[in-house]
């Protein structure tokens, strides 16, 4: 409550200051204009028909806004991934201000940006929802990763660009299917997805973001990464001593942050890794973590297909 009171006090003080200077208040201006109702994970919210100052609190929403031609004024970062997705180019990222990390958004920094729309996720920021709505209309998706396509459409609707979001998704899905058809033997090729985390190694299943993209192409997955019998089919852990379990026809491997990258070098320099059939065949490929893991949007999905095309065609 003290944090909420502080944010509200700051908002009032900032509003008074701007009025005294004869400047307009973007939030007030928007509130006086046309709005639309959006039903989302936390209820129903009236949002501006054409939001101009958007703050995003998850990596999929950075991808979505930029894919839809909207540069957010502020964005949270993903822990070890200290910046934003460079696959959009530095020019598009230049004006974005940092507003904390995904699990701990900086409310004062968000308020200072005077947003007219905040996009976040119940999965990560539910406990901050009331404080965020005190700053600006806030729309939350339910989950991340497994629902990335639904999230794209909901966030697109909140941004007033629902049809554009649908068109991007349709174009991506056709591209994925066409790529798989072009390969001819897609289902017979078993694709392993491996991620080095600080202190852990993960294999990614069919319900992960990258697993869904690979699945959309019709490419096969090794049995170990089907995660059959598990309630959570996003990922599973593998110890360095059991790294043989990540083998497949082709391995795509990423690392989340500098510590994980160092651990990746240690493991991939060892005899167990070098003994994998994909490694011996020269078919283990390092790829971008921000694309395959933290992108979680249609922009990143298309870049995964770029990688698949580069290494499999």
Structure tokens that stand for 294 in this block: 């933290």
- Please report, to the nearest 10 degrees, the dihedral formed by the alpha carbons of residues 211, 65, 76, 74 taken in order: 170
Strands (E), the chain: 35-40, 43-48, 54-56, 74-77, 97-101, 104-105, 117-121, 138-141, 191-197, 200-204, 235-238, 250-255, 284-286
**pLDDT at 19 exceeding the cut of 90:** no
**pLDDT at 20 exceeding the cut of 50:** no
To the nearest 10 degrees (0 to 180), the angle between helices 148-158 and 209-216 is: 100
Mean pLDDT, all residues of the chain: 90
Indicate the pLDDT class of residue 90, thresholds 50, 70 and 90.
Answer: confident
Domains, the chain, ordered by start: 2-161 (3.40.50.1980), 176-312 (3.40.50.1980)
Separation of alpha carbons 131 and 29, rounded Å: 21
Query: φ, ψ for residue 106 (rounded to 5)?
Result: -90, 100
pLDDT tens profile 116-134: 999 999 999 999 999 999 9
**pLDDT at 258 exceeding the cut of 70:** yes
Residue 264 near residue 199 (C-beta atoms within 8 A): no
Pick from 69-83, 160-174, 184-198, 213-227: least confident:
69-83
């Amino acid at each position: 409550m003290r944090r909420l009171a502080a944010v509200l006090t700051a908002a009032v003080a900032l509003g008074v200051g701007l009025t005294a200077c004869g400047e307009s208040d973007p939030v007030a201006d928007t509130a006086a204009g046309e709005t639309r109702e959006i039903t989302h994970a936390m209820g129903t919210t009236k949002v501006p028909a054409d939001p101009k100052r958007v703050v995003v609190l998850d990596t999929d929403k950075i991808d979505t806004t930029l894919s839809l031609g909207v540069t957010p004024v502020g964005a949270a970062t993903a822990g070890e991934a200290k910046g934003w997705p460079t696959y959009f180019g530095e020019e598009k990222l230049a004006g974005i201000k940092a507003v904390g990390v995904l699990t701990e958004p900086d409310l004062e920094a968000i308020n200072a940006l005077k947003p007219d729309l905040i996009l976040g996720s119940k999965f990560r920021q539910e406990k901050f929802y009331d404080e965020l709505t005190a700053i600006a209309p806030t729309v939350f998706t339910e989950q991340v990763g497994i629902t990335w396509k639904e999230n794209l459409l909901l966030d697109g609707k909140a941004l007033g660009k629902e049809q554009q979001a649908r068109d991007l998704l349709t174009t991506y899905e056709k591209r994925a299917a066409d790529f798989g058809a072009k390969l001819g033997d897609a289902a017979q090729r078993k694709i392993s997805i491996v991620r080095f985390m600080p202190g852990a190694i993960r294999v990614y299943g069919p319900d992960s973001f990258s697993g869904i993209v690979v699945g959309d192409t019709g490419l096969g997955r090794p049995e170990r990464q089907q995660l059959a019998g598990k309630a959570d089919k996003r990922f599973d852990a593998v110890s360095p001593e059991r790294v043989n379990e990540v083998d497949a026809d082709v391995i795509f491997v990423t690392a989340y942050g500098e510590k994980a990258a160092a651990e990746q070098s240690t493991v991939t320099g060892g005899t167990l890794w070098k003994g994998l059939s994909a490694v011996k065949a020269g078919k283990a490929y390092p790829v971008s973590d921000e694309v395959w893991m933290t992108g979680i949007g249609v922009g990143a999905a298309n870049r995964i297909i770029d990688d698949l095309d580069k290494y499999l065609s």
